[in-house]
Structure 1
Amino acid sequence: MKKPVQPSKNIFLIDDHDLGLEERTGTYVLTARDLTLIETSASPSVPYLLNGLSHLGLSGDDVKYIIVTHIHLDHAGGAGAFLEHCPNAQVIVHPKGMRHLADPSRLLAGAKAVYREKFEALFHPVVPVPNDRLLAKGHGDTLEIDEGCLLTFYDSPGHANHHFSIYHPQANGMFTGDTAGIFYPQLYRKGIELYIPSTSPNQFDPEKMLASISLFRKMNLDCLFFGHYGMSDHPEEAYQQVEDWLERFLQEAKSVFEAEGDLRTQTAVLKNRLFDRLKIFLQARGVQENDPVLELILLDLEISSMGLIDYLTKKI
């Protein structure tokens, strides 16, 4: 298993191997007086989390707070299972997501509709989080994890209504979950920056997403910590690309949606159109047809296409 990397002072990143893929979803470890983790990914990621902590000389006993930016299973599905290894920890979640961690039945139904036959292998088990170990944080609430280190929570809908982002003052950075899009470190190491919006079902709202990005922009952040995947110290580039790609995503989605076809057909056609546009963008920057990152991008676009068609369906 890979060792955690250190993107910033007192902040480490564990690769959760979400969906069995490297650099897909990550857990941030904030080494402070009150050891704090941000995101858990799904339950199959728990061994990677425990191993990553071990590499840092830590264990589940040391964890004080487990923060999930939102309750989608690739970010919070493993919270209950991981909590069983963390006897001293509380799980912090947006107020709108709190009840779904305590009773994940509706969350499971939604995820099964998206992932269908793949669900069990990717996400099982989803363990409820006991009510007495849940803590809600709303917009503007804070959490002191060390002397002089006060995390601040900000509502950041767009990807989901039950989404907050977490500001870290020492890094002058924001843990953005999925609100500010997806970052591909595989490309960044080749000198290519790509940030695309994450528009998965079923609460995607482009206007809210743009408003959340506007909030981040006004804060003059030095860096962004993405749920997918890693840290970028080029926030403005990320904002601009996500805004630009969001416009293109919506244009293509509206074109596909206006054509005949059932939901599954529309989603498949849209995924392929978006993938073609992104391949043109990347090939112009030297990315080869057989680059493994394209498989990861195609997976992301499949889920995002579902959300775009779902959004348009609800607007009728």
Structure 2
Amino acid sequence: MNKKPVNLGNNISFFDVFDLGMENRTGTYVIHDEKLTIVETSASPSIPYLLEGLKNLEIDPSEIHYIIVTHIHLDHAGGAGLLLKQCPNAKVIVHPRGFRHLIDPSRLIAGARLVYGDDFDRLYDPIYPIPEDRLIVKQDGETLEIGKRTLTFYDTPGHAKHHFSIHDSLSNGIFTGDTIGIYYQDVEEFDFFLPSTSPNQFDPDDMLHSLKKIEELNVSLIYFGHFGKSNNPSLVYSEIKKWLPVFVETGKEIYLEHKEMTLEELTPLISENLFGKIKAYLSEKNIPSNHKVYTILKLDIDVCSMGLADYFIRIENKK
């Protein structure tokens, strides 16, 4: 597998790093400025593809100044420690809540093993700790000058509490990680976006608050972690506002019917119901049932359903 980097304009390149071994799943952005900056590393099995992408751009890893991870979920930051071994002059920029987990990733690893079980090693191993002196924390509203542009970091919880989004002054674009969802570019017939409600810090109110925060910046472009650039922010906002209540209400209905069930028992019930609603929507849009998007969509909805079940269990436990 190999795809050449794409020039997105504004001196930003983008290439596929084949997260989970899948095309159009997770990408890495390269901001070409005086201080060369990367946004998102994906997991460690993606690092060879990332290094190949840099090679295709004629970039030596020693030229990289900053590696930014929007949040510390392993499909965005799991490979940061491995990549850093190839980038002697780089520092990793992380949300304040993610800082200690990159120094000691043991809890990240344990949590991912619970979700992915026997597949963990194949999908995410190895995960290396990052030395504290190679990390930079950015608080809400703080900036980073990398040359002709200013990057501004915004605390944007909802998908996770350790999540920030990064506004780029030159393109008037924003790197949103998973905060305002996933862009399924496998669906070429129309722009298809869904929220990402994965465990264990999903909060729909926080997600909508973060979406509003981004909306008020009046950005021109959205750079998704999954997958690529959208030049239609207003459509992104409206689609997430449409689908997030569907996700939450589906999870709530199943939970209220089966309060006695465990997380493991609730998840497949929510997933089946939610997947059915999404499939019906896509069918109305003339997307066939054997379309390639369903491979990754099924995986995503399983994880999102686990996050929904976890959310309602947490609410119940707080009573």
TM-score tier, shorter chain, comes to over 0.9
How far residue 314 of structure 1 moved from its aligned partner, in angstroms, is: 0.3
Structure 1 counterpart of 2:169, one-letter code? P
One-letter amino acid of the counterpart of residue 106, structure 1:
R
Mapping of residues 237-256 of structure 1, within 5 Å? 237-256=235-254
1:6 Cα deviation from its structure 2 partner: 1.9
- Secondary structure class of the residue paired with 2:128: coil
Aligned ranges 1:103-142 → 2 under 5 Å: 103-142=104-143
Structure 2: stretches of 5+ with no match in the other structure? none
Aligned partners of 1:308 and 1:8: how far apart in 2? 37
Task: Kindly report which structure 2 residues correspond to 1:178-197, keeping only aligned pairs within 5 A, or say none.
Answer: 178-187=178-187, 189-190=188-189, 192-197=190-195
| Matched residue SS, 2:116 | helix
Given that 2:82 and 2:128 are in contact with CA atoms closer than 8 Å, whether structure 1 keeps it comes out as yes
Which residue of structure 2 aligns with residue 70 of structure 1? 71
Q: Distance in 1 between matches of 2:247 and 2:270?
A: 9
Residue 96, structure 1, aligned to residue 94, structure 2 = no
1:263: which partner in 2?
Answer: 263
Matched, 1:58 2:56: no
Aligned residue type for 1:9: N
Displacement after TM superposition at 1:286 (Å) = 1.5
Asked if the contact 2:43/2:74 (under 8 Å) is kept, the reply is yes
| TM-score normalized by the length of structure 2 | 0.97
- Which residue type is aligned with residue 186 of structure 2? Q
Between the aligned partners of 1:310 and 1:231, the Cα distance in structure 2 is: 30
> 2:177 is matched with which residue?
177
Q: How does 1:134-173 map to 2 (within 5 A)?
A: 134-147=135-148, 149-173=149-173
How far 1:141 sits from its partner (Å)?
0.7
Q: Offset of 1:194 from its aligned partner?
A: 1.2
The answer as to whether partners of 2:186 and 2:292 remain within 8 angstroms in 1 is no
Q: Deviation per CA, 1:60-101: give whole Å up to 9, x if none.
A: 111110000000000000000000000000000011100100
Answer yes or no: is 1:288 the counterpart of 2:288.
yes
> Identity rate of aligned residues, in percent?
49
Distance in 2 separating the partners of 1:271 and 1:238: 23
The structural deviation recorded for 1:162 is 0.7
Post-superposition shift, 1:9?
Answer: 2.1
**Aligned pairs, how many?**
313
Secondary structure at the aligned position of 1:185 is classed as coil
CA distance in 1, matches of 2:8, 2:283: 28
Question: Match of 2:84?
Answer: 83
Bigger shift: residues 263-272 or 24-33: 263-272
Q: Hey, what's the Cα distance between the residues in 2 that align with 1:263 and 1:86? A: 40
CA RMSD of aligned residues (A): 0.9
Deviations 1:217-257 (A, max 9, x none): 11111110000100001111111111111101111101111
Aligned partner of 1:55: which letter? N
Q: Distance in 1 between matches of 2:223 and 2:133?
A: 29
| Cα contact 2:198–2:306 (8 A) shared by 1 | yes
Which string of whole-angstrom CA distances, capped at 9 and with x for unpartnered residues, describes residues 241-284 of structure 1? 11111101111101111123332221101111111111111111
- TM-fit CA distance, 1:301: 0.5
Indicate the SS of the match to 1:32.
coil
Report the Cα distance in structure 2 between the residues aligned to 1:39 and 1:60, rounded to whole angstroms.
Answer: 15
Look up the match of 2:196.
198
Cα shift at 1:315? 0.2
Structure 2 residue 308 is matched with structure 1 residue 308: yes
| Letter matched to residue 222 of structure 1 | S
Match of 1:228 in 2: 226
User: Aligned partners of 2:127, 2:86: CA distance in 1, in Å?
Assistant: 15
Separation in 2, partners of 1:305, 1:111: 15
Q: Which runs of 4+ in 1 moved over 4 A?
A: none
Gaps of 5+ in 1: none
